[in-house]
Amino acid sequence: MNKAAPQVDDLHKLRHSLAHALAQAVLKLWPGTKITIGPPIDYGCYYDFLFETPISDADFPVIEKEMRKIIHQGQTFRSETLKTSDAKKFWNQRKQPFKVELIEDLVKNEGVKTVTHYANIGPKGEETFVDLCRGGHIENMKDIPADAFKITSLAGAYWRGDEKREQLTRVYVAAFASKKELDEYLQMMEEAKRRDHRKLGQELDLFTFSELVGPGLPLWTPRGTLLRDLLDGYVWELRQARGYQRVTIPHITKKELYETSGHWQKFSQELFRITTREGHQFCMKPMNCPHHTQIYVSQQRSYRDLPQRYAETTTCYRDEQTGELHGLSRVRSFTQDDAHVFCRRSQAAEEILKIWEIVDTFYATVGFGKLRVRLSLHDPDAMEKYLGTPEMWQSAETELRKIAIDRQADFSEAPGEAAFYGPKVDFIARDSIGREWQVATIQLDINMPERFNLFCINEEGAEERIVMIHAAIMGSLERFLSIFIEHHAGLFPLWLAPVQVALLPLADIHEHYAHEVETMLKNVGLRIHYMDHTESLGKRIREGEKLRIPYLLVMGDREATDRSVAVRNVQTKKQVTVPLEQFVERTVKDVQERKLVASIG
């Protein structure tokens, strides 16, 4: 009888247990290795090691073989609670300094007096491996399907994400409840490599990085800037139709602004700080909401003036650790399509629903299907992480929940995922290879109005506290574009393609007609790339396909005579010949209507 596969709910425990098997295998194969941490993650687990001699992917089969031995032995787990002093002694004796440091930090930061060890127990009752761990394991290693995991990659990782500390080797393992799920994941990862936005960004000449400028600071080329502007322009079009006004703020601020907002206390490690020549402390803004409050309070507001809707696309700065930077997904300078609505409590639901409409419209237009909705709530057992009182949080969360129910949204709830100043509605997009990404967000904030004393004068002439709604449609443009590029594999909808049409005359005698076509297309606003006949037609077609130009127009004798164009659709790989005027009319219509798929060919 086949053993039932572990349920999805058990995957966290399975992956956590497998991380212990990985560390145990590595220590057996390389006894002098220093071990650090090994958490479960989406799709598997990893463990960070300090090896005496480097390992490579050639070592993966050896490690996997040892891990399978551990699984087949049917090792179990046994927990033990130790005083921190005894635990430090235990790890010092085993010459594992990173574990000692972890315990010391727990004592210093959390005031713990005891820690938990989990030991792997072999078939004869012997301890085969011990780790510093809070637990969450399967009962027996045999519950891990031996054919449903695979070591996938190595990566460098600084200890604690600090580039001044030791550089470790991170070993990643993919792990699932069945071999079928593992195979599907590995296939997805192969496709993800092909779509990697870092590779496509270079190939399509969208963005670059410079060592002289610094890590995490992307530089946008003309083509990449055009793509950003088209997307941002569409967001603004949707906002402008709903009464938003543009504002502009500086990129630095006095320390006091963020002390008032709470960011200085809650966000201090991620702030780029500046000291002026007079000794005053400033910082580069990590977000925009505190600045926008100061525009609101610059005038006395009547209830008749509300809602006030401010929108701005502007760059923010966060001092991310070097080891956590990744392409456009995690950067130090990022641009937000940020908006803040200042309104009465009674107006909040209507304003949130308007933003929700923008989110749904935008993501449908740029090619994502139905978004999943998550209410990100506070953790009532960790109020020290948040501003405000439990009552304020409960009130705001109840309001968001009611809005989601009234909209008949299919939503989940995630305690502990709220921003420190308020609960939020997070929208989750699924890309074309099945990965999920958190994209847009709407936050209901009742803390910032308290801290900045935001009010309006109501019908009775009295001050009335208002609420503040934070809304980002793309969020960080950089992160959104990393998702968008990979979702479309660089072949963007026609209206967003930096170059929409390439012109390929067959020979000298066709140049005159090709230039006539070029002028006609440019006059109607299409973006053109002229590819003269100095290279062979086949090479030019391959180049156009590599650049993901939606339409390649080939022009020879027949086309020049008939005033037509041979249209090669790069997405469908089909070629049709159509009258020039028909091509222009249909293409302009597709662009104006923001069609997802080029309709010719």
What tokens appear for 189 in the block?
């990862």
- For 123, 206, 432, 438, 474, the CA distances from 201, given in Å and listed in that order, are 52, 5, 18, 21, 18
Residue with tokens 């992917």: 57
Q: Which residues of 465-488 are buried (b: 16+ CB within 10 A; e: fewer)?
A: ebbbbbbbbbbbbbbbbbbbbbbb
Q: Is 391 strand, coil or helix? A: helix
DSSP 261-279: HTHHHHSGGG--EEE-TTS
* Catalytic positions, written as ranges: 289, 318, 336, 338, 340, 424, 470
Three-class DSSP category at 441: strand
Q: Helix or strand or coil: residue 118?
A: strand
The CA distance from 323 to 345, in Å, is 42
CA–centroid distance for 557 within its chain:
50
| Distance from C-alpha of 139 to C-alpha of 128, rounded to nearest angstrom | 16
By C-alpha distance, which of 261, 267, 263, 358 is closest to 309? 358
Residue 323 one-letter amino acid:
G
Give the torsion sign (CA, 182, 51, 199, 222): positive
Residues 240-257 as b or e (16 or more Cβ within 10 Å = b): eeeebeebebeeebebeb
**C-beta atoms surrounding 10 within 10 Å:** 14
The radius of gyration of the chain's CA atoms, rounded to the nearest angstrom, is 29
